[in-house]
Structure 1
Amino acid sequence: MASCADILRSEFPDLDGEVFAYVTGILHGGGADFESVDDLVEAVGELLREVSQDTKDDSAIREICQRLFNTLQLDEAQAQRCSQVLLDTPIQLSQIADGCGDADVLPGLLLKRGQTSMVNAKKLEKAEARLKAKQDKRMERDSLKSSNPLVLEEASASQAASKKETRMESSGKNKSYDVRIENFDVSFGERVLLAGADLNLAFGRRYGLVGRNGLGKTTLLKMIASRSLHIPSHISILHVEQEVAGDDTPALQSVLECDTTRESLLREERDLTAKVNAGRGEGTEGARLSEIYAKLEEIEADKAPARGPALNSNPFATSSLLREFSGGWRMRLALARALFARPDLLLLDEPTNMLDVRAILWLETYLQTWQSTILVVSHDRNFLNVVATDIIHLHSQRLDMYRGDFENFMKIKEERLKNQQREYEAQQQYREHIQVFIDRFRYNANRASQVQSKLKLLEKLPELKPVDKESEVIMKFPDGFEKFSPPILQLDEIDFYYDPSHYIFHSLSVSADLESRICVVGENGAGKSTMLKILMGELAPVRGIRHAHRNLKIGYFSQHHVDQLDLNISAVELLARKFPGKTEEEYRHQLGSYGISGELAVRPVASLSGGQKSRVAFAQMTMSCPNFYILDEPTNHLDMETIEALAKALNKFRGGVILVSHNERFIHLVCRELWVCENATVTRIEGGFEQYRDILKEQFRKEGFL
């Protein structure tokens, strides 16, 4: 492969010595600082474009920079040899120039007699300043990492540039709203999440992105949203993450601000009006104001407050501040902002987390009418079956596309795996058959030509690999305890409120025993989490009695479980601090029971994915062997395989379970009782989740949502 110096000589035969020395010096001295070809283009691209005297356009310069970048990515030994050439070349040239006195001996590399340098000194200084700033930033980051070993790794993405798409983008001819990202890589620190992957999103389709926890689904969404992966500039993107941070912004205002076109027009209208009223106008304000009013009328700006997605009987239209909303209402608000902005590409990361069943039903219905493209990460099978038109499966550092909903994806995937395994086994048998013939007649002169023919046949056979089956997720809740007679846990005629003017519960009476498998549902803010805390004894009722058996030991999983974890230490250290006196092997075994094994157990908890953090919380919760579990939204962030494993573990557990969940499949797998939290009390529904869902659908029909 040509060296960087060879590439420069070939592409720029008239490159003068000063520029050559500068560029090769940059490539040698700053090679480690170029994390992508964009960094290299930024450092030397403008300079090369200038000295080419308009013989090369931007795409040609970028292609040359790509070749230079690829050369710098050679293995260490080759890179060292290349670096030595780059280091020596300008020094030798300058020595020759000083000694010879006649620059004609090196035509095309040094300045010829009477020729002045083509280098723009100011641009050279700017290029050097940019490079120095990048080097200083890298040194600062490396220094921070060395002083604090818990600094989190960063995600990064790279992809091969397409000349055709680059030309279309620069010419403004690309009007398509399809998204094509080809041959790209995504990494998180030193871990490769995707390698040589392709992602094609057709405009108007709804894609469900599925895969195990920790494989990079959320990271991929972030790389797309930040445009670290190339998305045509005319395509607008909006990324809905887990929830909106609480601050003092009024809820309705935060939704309206998502319409950037409307906001910018209103801002300009206010500025121009202020100028006119203050007598500081230049005479052109009137015409511009007329244009702005026409555009505001065209986009129906005055109807925007009423157009904001309701997400079903919400309080967004009030003056409530973001910090006053619960987690479920903040997720609704995040979705309302996205749906109001109407982006060309909508990225949703676990949108059903913390939403109640009513809101999920509304969201499913709304997204089915969505006109542009959706890419959604979800582990809710029912949600994907209703919403998704296509499924993208992330596994083995690649993306596989499937047409249809999630159930269709499961069928096709299983069939593909069976066919792949059959094809692999058939080829193995064929290889063995040929090998037996070769081994038998290898030294038979009369069969030499046949043996050679068989050997060539073996070489030509494509190398098939066995099916790469994902390991089964196993979870187990320890239950080594004696059963005891009821009552186990009971609330009798409970009243509770935070504010005397508003009762959360009035005359509430419920009970549970060691055979209970109870699911609590209800709208966000109805008091589900409050009731769980009363059951645990964390909140004292205003009136009434809580009774708990003296041997009852409750394990609690909070929907905000991450807040209970120290993110700056490893999972092993976390357990050691919480439950001192055991060996590291015991802590690792406990974590391994929930899928946190190997290096995951010793990495900072902050660097784990959402699902992996949940598994750490389960390991911590079960360490003391409780005999009753109270779980608040336990499936949030968990992948589908882990949800199935959690359901199996709860069914085998010989103790009581009360949980809050809105994951329909999980409820069907685990729960035998359904409690509906509403109107300051709890009602038991005999028909279970199906009856509750039918009740909500009937309400929707009456309200005109379905």
Structure 2
Amino acid sequence: MVTVQNLTMRYGNRVLFQDINLKLDRNKRYGLIGANGAGKTTFLKILSGEINEYDGEVIIPKSNKVGVLGQNQYAFEDYTIMDAVLYGNKRLFDAIKEKEEIYATGDFEDDAVNNRLADLEVICVEEDPTYEYDVNIAKILENVGIEASLHHNLMSTLDSADKFKVLLAQVLYPKPDVLFLDEPTNNLDIETISWLEDELQRHEGTMVVISHDRHFLNAVVTNILDVDYQKIREFTGNYDDWYIAANVMAKQLELDTAKKEKEKEQLEAFVRRFSANASKARQATSRQKQLEKLNIEDIKPSSRRDPSIVFKAARVMGDEALHIIDVNHTYSDGNEVLKDVTLKFNPGEKVALIGPNGAGKTTLLKIIMEEIKPTSGEVHWGATIESSYFPQDTADIIEGDGTLYDWLRAFDPKRDIAEIRNCLGRMLFNGEQQEKSVESISGGEKHRMMLSKMMLEGGNFLVLDEPSNHLDLEAIVALGEALHEFKGNVICVSHDRELLDAFATRIIEIHADGSLTDFEGTYEEYAEAKQSGSI
């Protein structure tokens, strides 16, 4: 159990939250949500002991083993991958390493050496009774996608995405009583996220997790901690339960006597629509029953605002959209990522491009957008197509010392400044924020800037590479709805399954061996077909 008493956190004159009192129980998994900048990560760091300057008290029994997902991917560069995971149990790690040193250099005629070995053996038995730490670590590493042949390589040999996977394995391996996770699905592909969901569902202690992946939160958490109004409110249920209740409450507060009947119909339509999107039609009845049982009297509507994302094509599309013919690509280091890719996209199709990390998804998008040339093959756009691109490396593209509206206006100097400011406002940049320099804004703000640019461009074929990274949950929901309503074409790479389910009518998976699966239907239908073995 974790107990929070009279917790207040300030940064200068700004109060993040105050007078927080919570009891986080064993066998409960808490999803920590809130707008960007609300203080989610700060609260998690206070719970884990990384931040100590605050008013109030956080109590975790000393007998509880605490696990914190590391964020410094370069902290273990000189460790083998296996040792980096073992380090998650520091007591066992130290005992094993000291044993190895003694066996290599110790004087076994010395009673002190033998006594020390005996003490170390006791520690090893206490921490690893079955003497299978290496087997258990190997299994976790393989589950997160690190092949067995790499386990004794140095961490420095891995790319940043795989380093993060090792840190995830490190925190899961000791099976801590209290688990704190900040964005654990970052850099994970869909298959690994599914494995992680199963793993966390079996966690028997207390867990607090921050995530912008709605599907992940719905699958894993039993309770929601909502950071809002300088408070942290607890709600029983997953993210969808909280979202429905918060929206119902917001709508109820808008009711007046003359509009009650009309608003009641709108409420029911909202529940039907949301249930169909989030949990699919067969669960709509269940969602309705949940809504009837919800205790929403104590839930205030969120102070957070949803961005207004609307993509409107400026040009009507003709009969041809995009044709990719026999595309192959091999990088200069010999890494072959695409093999004989031939795909045709018809007008109006909305495609989710999925697959494991490194399979070539981003490479294919860059070839489509003519940022790189394929080793062989051709890409043919329809004559009426006007594409708009959301690249994965947005942070590197949005730079300079100009204001936000200056950066947008540079792409179309004739564009009316009022239209640009209005577009920024719809993405939650107020007048003062629009005067900020683009070099001073956060990763999430740069993503909202790129979405602003795409809305102004009015393309009829949208190409997006991991657009949900750095966006908060409200923005991801708004993006999914915008892509669903868009009348043109979409190709989107994402590991966010709720986002994919919101818009995709066709799923293309690039496999690690370079082969493709091309499926007509929603992501949920694709997942069910894979599970049943029909594809």
Indicate the residue corresponding to 1:452 in structure 2: none
Contact 1:490 1:535 in 2 (8 A): no
Q: Secondary structure at the match of 1:634?
A: coil
Distance 2:432 2:153 in 1: 45
Q: Secondary structure at the match of 2:445?
A: helix
239 and 695 in structure 1: CA distance in 2 versus 1, 3 angstrom threshold: farther
Radius of gyration: which is bigger? 1
Contact 1:211 1:395 in 2 (8 A): yes
Indicate the residue corresponding to 1:300 in structure 2: 128
1:480 aligns with 2:310: no
Which among 515, 519, 533 is matched to residue 685 of structure 1? 519
1:523 aligns with 2:356: yes
Range with greater deviation from structure 2 (532-541 or 311-320): 311-320
Which among 78, 81, 88 is matched to residue 251 of structure 1? 81
Which among 201, 210, 219 is matched to residue 377 of structure 1? 210
Indicate the residue corresponding to 2:449 in structure 1: 616
Distance 1:632 1:478 in 2: 19
Please give the residue correspondences for 1:660-671 in structure 2 after superposition, counting only pairs within 5 Å.
660-671=493-504
Distance 1:465 1:203 in 2: 24
630 and 416 in structure 1: CA distance in 2 versus 1, 3 angstrom threshold: closer
Indicate the residue corresponding to 1:439 in structure 2: none
Which among 212, 231, 235 is matched to residue 398 of structure 1? 231
242 and 604 in structure 1: CA distance in 2 versus 1, 3 angstrom threshold: farther
Distance 1:320 1:559 in 2: 29
- Consecutive unaligned residues of structure 2, counting only runs of 5 or more, are 259-297
Which among 139, 147, 166 is matched to residue 333 of structure 1? 166
Which among 365, 373, 379 is matched to residue 540 of structure 1? 373
Indicate the residue corresponding to 2:342 in structure 1: 509
Q: Secondary structure at the match of 2:331?
A: strand
Q: TM-score, normalised by structure 1?
A: 0.60
Please give the residue correspondences for 1:402-413 in structure 2 after superposition, counting only pairs within 5 Å.
402-413=235-246
Q: Give the deviation of 1:241 after TM superposition.
A: 6.0
- Cα deviation code 1:60-100 (max 9, x no counterpart): xxxxxxxxxxxxxxxxxxxxxxxxxxxxxxxxxxxxxxxxx
Which among 63, 68, 75 is matched to residue 239 of structure 1? 68
Please give the residue correspondences for 1:548-563 in structure 2 after superposition, counting only pairs within 5 Å.
548-549=381-382, 552-563=385-396
Distance 1:400 1:382 in 2: 21
Q: Give the structure with the larger helix fraction.
A: 1
Indicate the residue corresponding to 2:39 in structure 1: 216
Contact 1:514 1:654 in 2 (8 A): no
Distance 1:696 1:465 in 2: 39
Q: Secondary structure at the match of 2:352?
A: strand
- Cα deviation code 1:94-120 (max 9, x no counterpart): xxxxxxxxxxxxxxxxxxxxxxxxxxx
Aligned residues: 481
311 and 339 in structure 1: CA distance in 2 versus 1, 3 angstrom threshold: farther
One-letter code of the match for 1:510? L
CA RMSD of aligned residues (A): 3.6
Q: Give the deviation of 1:260 after TM superposition.
A: 0.9
One-letter code of the match for 2:183? E
Distance 1:375 1:472 in 2: 25
Distance 2:208 2:402 in 1: 33
Contact 1:518 1:659 in 2 (8 A): yes
1:627 aligns with 2:460: yes
Q: Give the deviation of 1:423 after TM superposition.
A: 12
1:649 aligns with 2:478: no
One-letter code of the match for 1:244? Q
Please give the residue correspondences for 1:186-201 in structure 2 after superposition, counting only pairs within 5 Å.
186-188=9-11, 190-201=13-24
Distance 1:655 1:232 in 2: 54
Contact 1:213 1:609 in 2 (8 A): no
Please give the residue correspondences for 1:67-78 in structure 2 after superposition, counting only pairs within 5 Å.
none
Distance 2:205 2:453 in 1: 43
Q: Give the deviation of 1:289 after TM superposition.
A: 1.8
561 and 244 in structure 1: CA distance in 2 versus 1, 3 angstrom threshold: farther
Contact 2:504 2:523 in 1 (8 A): no
- Consecutive unaligned residues of structure 1, counting only runs of 5 or more, are 1-177, 426-463, 700-706
Range with greater deviation from structure 2 (500-509 or 528-537): 500-509
Distance 1:296 1:698 in 2: 43
Indicate the residue corresponding to 2:528 in structure 1: 694
1:312 aligns with 2:181: no
Distance 2:439 2:230 in 1: 22
Which among 236, 246, 260 is matched to residue 90 of structure 2? 260
Contact 2:197 2:220 in 1 (8 A): yes
Indicate the residue corresponding to 2:422 in structure 1: 589
- Cα deviation code 1:514-558 (max 9, x no counterpart): 412111112222221121122112232222222234664433223
Contact 2:317 2:385 in 1 (8 A): no
Q: Give the deviation of 1:189 after TM superposition.
A: 5.4
Range with greater deviation from structure 2 (265-274 or 611-620): 265-274
Indicate the residue corresponding to 1:203 in structure 2: 26
Q: Secondary structure at the match of 1:370?
A: coil
Distance 2:127 2:120 in 1: 11
632 and 465 in structure 1: CA distance in 2 versus 1, 3 angstrom threshold: closer
Contact 1:237 1:344 in 2 (8 A): yes
Q: Secondary structure at the match of 1:310?
A: helix
Q: Secondary structure at the match of 1:180?
A: strand
1:348 aligns with 2:178: no
Please give the residue correspondences for 1:406-445 in structure 2 after superposition, counting only pairs within 5 Å.
406-414=239-247
Contact 2:246 2:299 in 1 (8 A): no
Distance 1:183 1:641 in 2: 29
- Cα deviation code 1:439-493 (max 9, x no counterpart): xxxxxxxxxxxxxxxxxxxxxxxxx99967643421123532343441x322111
Q: Secondary structure at the match of 1:284?
A: helix
Q: Give the deviation of 1:375 after TM superposition.
A: 0.6
Range with greater deviation from structure 2 (518-527 or 346-355): 346-355
Distance 1:320 1:274 in 2: 21
Q: Secondary structure at the match of 1:288?
A: helix
One-letter code of the match for 1:285? V
- Cα deviation code 1:41-60 (max 9, x no counterpart): xxxxxxxxxxxxxxxxxxxx
One-letter code of the match for 2:209? V
Q: TM-score, normalised by structure 2?
A: 0.78
Q: Secondary structure at the match of 2:185?
A: coil
Distance 1:518 1:551 in 2: 19
Greater relative contact order structure (CA < 8 Å, 6+ sep): 2
Contact 2:388 2:459 in 1 (8 A): yes
1:471 aligns with 2:294: no
- Cα deviation code 1:382-429 (max 9, x no counterpart): 22222111111121111111112223323444565567778999xxxx
Range with greater deviation from structure 2 (406-415 or 516-525): 406-415
Q: Secondary structure at the match of 2:4?
A: strand
Indicate the residue corresponding to 2:8 in structure 1: 185
Contact 1:596 1:616 in 2 (8 A): no
Contact 1:520 1:659 in 2 (8 A): yes
Distance 1:311 1:652 in 2: 40
One-letter code of the match for 1:681? S
One-letter code of the match for 1:305? D
Please give the residue correspondences for 1:121-200 in structure 2 after superposition, counting only pairs within 5 Å.
178-188=1-11, 190-200=13-23
Indicate the residue corresponding to 1:75 in structure 2: none
Q: Secondary structure at the match of 2:27?
A: coil
Q: Give the deviation of 1:663 after TM superposition.
A: 2.2
Q: Give the structure with the larger strand fraction.
A: 2
